[in-house]
Amino acid sequence: MAHTQHTLSRDVSATLIPAGDVVTLPAGSDVFITQTLGGNVTVRTDRGLFRIAREHVEAIAGYAAEAPAVAPPSAPVDAASFSEQSVWDALKTCFDPEIPVNIVDLGLVYDLSVEKRPDAKHAVEVKMTLTAQGCGMGPVIAEDARQKIAALASVESAKVHIVWDPIWTPQMISPSGRQSLGLD
């Protein structure tokens, strides 16, 4: 995506990348859009790189949200149509704000566990890692994943745990992810 310049129409909450600190970007700030994946927008300003969450992107004057690069998950309409694949599809809509590849294809998701409860609801737990242990964006990415899983029909609880074993390496990137990053 070409870096496009916009102005913020109002004060907006944003997350500083890679520290993970939440700050307020003031109205009138010039921002350059660098990534628009998973509904969130990564912008560069004279103060650094920031992630603006999907619920605040309307503050970017002149920005019209594009169709996502990965189709949003089609939420099952009832518990009977719930599948593990719907969880994987939801996870594929989650992105590191600095890397234009979803967390599944980056190889960050190590384990997915789905437990069907007696009431036909589901409990989902995910173990994931990050590309670097010092990344302050980890809780932000994990919460994005948790929210998208929790939004699926018949999911009663969703937990996403960040783990460090094994340590992530670029060899864990899927063939599709490698192609997207030009590593093939």
Per-residue pLDDT of 44-60, as tens digits, reads 999 999 999 999 999 99
Mean residue pLDDT of the chain comes to 90
List of domains in the chain: 4-61 (2.30.30.40), 79-180 (3.30.300.130)
Residues sharing a CB contact under 8 Å with residue 50, sequence separation 6 or more, in sequence order: 14, 15, 16, 17, 23, 25, 31, 42, 43, 44
pLDDT at 150 over 60: yes
Summarize the confidence of residues 64-77 as an average pLDDT: 52
Query: pLDDT, tens digit, for every residue of 127-137?
Result: 999 999 988 99
Enter the pTM of the model: 0.84
pLDDT at 96 over 80: yes
CB 64 within 8 A of CB 70: no
Task: Read off the pLDDT band of 80 (50, 70, 90).
Answer: low
For tokens 């990564």, the residue is 42
Q: What is the per-residue pLDDT for 82?
A: 86
pLDDT at 74 over 50: no
φ, ψ at 110 (rounded to 5°): -95, -30
pLDDT at 71 over 50: no
24, two tokens:
């307020």
